[in-house]
Amino acid sequence: MDLVRHLECFVAVAEESHFGRAAARLGMAQPPLSQRIQRLEKELGVRLFERTSRQVTITEAGTLLLAEARELLARAEALRTAARRIRDGESGLLRAALSPDISGETVAALLADFRRRHAGLELELHELTTAQQLAGFAAHELDVGLIHHPCDVTGLELGPVLRRDLGVLLPRGAPQTELDEVPLAALTGYDLVLFPRADAPAVYDDLLTACARGGYTPAAVRHGQGASFVRGLVLSSGAVALGPRDTRLVTPGDPDLVWRPLAGAPPAWRHSAAWPKGRGDAAVGAFADAATHALRTTAGAHAETAARPLHLRPASEYWL
């Protein structure tokens, strides 16, 4: 039995004191209305109305139950309203994640844009690597994220794939800092600071391959992940590091380090918003749009001109 619909019929008859007027109010014929009232009375085990050929009178039991019926209908409508707000991304909880290399400026722009669109939605934002995000999707602990490619995108829907071209981080005073763009070959003789290969073998190999094709074979490869440690290696070891323009490794007016773009066709970080298939509701779409917009406007990210594979190795092999 559709209890809510039956209660709507009960309240309408009680308020109209007439089956014909109640039926018109509910947009239904009178016989089905009478049948609903009879079924409700049978279900509740009490008579709700006294009926004669000339009038309908609510019983004492009906009067006592009327207030309860109205409260239940009000709560049912509140439930529908809450469900609509969640569906439309106006309330509820959205569990989202960004990768650790995203700059503070990009995070701030993303949050401002998202909150402007969905002020009533609670956003639970985490800093997670791509592998951690994919594990979160698989465990149903994450609704949307910003991931790096290539990785295992099975079961995911993706936003536009954007790229952030990499530049080189140099000690201030290095001769290459006088160039507007630095050819990779001009880095010959420097060590290169990279994350450990075990953390991201495909990305690691891609970077070294790009360097070799550009005429740069590092004198040595040093490994580091934390920004302070990498800065220390660059400053004290005759080394350079690669990173996008908005890298956390260098700050505006940095007295020690300088970032310069690489000449030609530089290697790049490639990433997109991602979410589980079938979860593309308004809130997820708004976060994905805000992330894409923030990357374009604050990090200089741009769409790839040619499609490249996104799914090459298991997520556990990727650090970024």
Residue 197 pLDDT: 76
Q: Is the pLDDT of residue 195 over 90?
A: no
Query: Which of left, alpha, beta for 26 (phi over 0: left; psi -120 to 50: alpha)?
Result: alpha
Give the domain-ending residue among 41, 60, 87: 87
Read off the CATH number of the domain in which 117 is found: 3.40.190.290
Task: Give residue 122's pLDDT.
Answer: 85
pLDDT tens per residue across span 262-313 = 999 899 888 899 999 988 788 899 899 999 999 999 998 988 765 555 655 5
Asked whether the predicted pLDDT for residue 110 surpasses 70, the reply is yes
pLDDT at 318 over 70: no
Span of 81-85, 236-240, 315-319 with lowest mean pLDDT: 315-319
Give the pLDDT score at 317. Answer: 45
Q: How confident is the model at residue 320 (pLDDT cuts 50, 70, 90)?
A: very low
pLDDT band, very low/low/confident/very high, at 90 (cuts 50, 70, 90):
low
pLDDT at 315: 47
172 in the same domain as 71: no
The domain boundary residue, chosen from 60, 87, 114? 87
221-241 pLDDT per residue, tens: 999 878 889 999 999 878 999
Instruction: Please check whether residues 159 and 217 belong to one and the same domain.
Output: yes
Confidence of residue 319 (pLDDT cuts 50, 70, 90): very low
Task: Look at residue 314 and tell me whether its pLDDT is greater than 70.
Answer: no
Q: Indicate the pTM of the whole model.
A: 0.66
Across the range 83-101, mean pLDDT stands at 77
Average pLDDT (145-151) is 88
**67 plus 204 within the same structural domain:** no
Question: Are 100 and 238 contained in the same domain?
Answer: yes
Q: Are residues 216 and 128 in the same domain?
A: yes
Output b/e per residue, 204-221; b: 16+ Cβ within 10 A: beebbebbeebebebeeb
Three-state DSSP state, 61: helix
Count: domains in the chain = 2
Mean pLDDT of 183-200: 87
Examine the domain organization and report whether 83 and 100 are in the same domain.
no
- State residue 261's pLDDT score: 95
Same domain, yes or no: 231 and 300: yes
pLDDT score recorded for residue 86:
67
Do residues 82 and 129 both lie within one domain?
Answer: no
Together in a domain, 170 and 98: yes
Among 87, 106, 134, residue at a domain's last position: 87
Is the per-residue pLDDT at 145 higher than 80? yes
- Mean pLDDT value across residues 120-133: 88
Residues 73 and 170 in one domain: no
pLDDT value at position 306? 55
* Cβ partners under 8 Å of residue 141, min gap 6: 95
Q: Are residues 100 and 60 in the same domain?
A: no
The pair of three-digit structure tokens given for residue 12, joined into one six-digit string: 């309408």
136-164 burial, b if ≥16 CB within 10 A, otherwise e? Answer: bbeeeebbbbbbbbbbbbeebbebebbbb
**Mean pLDDT of the chain, nearest integer:** 87
Closest CA to 269 of 295, 239, 249: 295
Which CATH number characterizes residue 78's domain? 1.10.10.10
Q: What is the tens place of the pLDDT at every residue in 22-33?
A: 999 999 999 999
pLDDT value at 88 more than 70: no
Specify whether 221 is located in the same domain as 245. yes
**Does 84 or 39 have the greater pLDDT score?**
39
Residue 10's domain comprises: 3-87
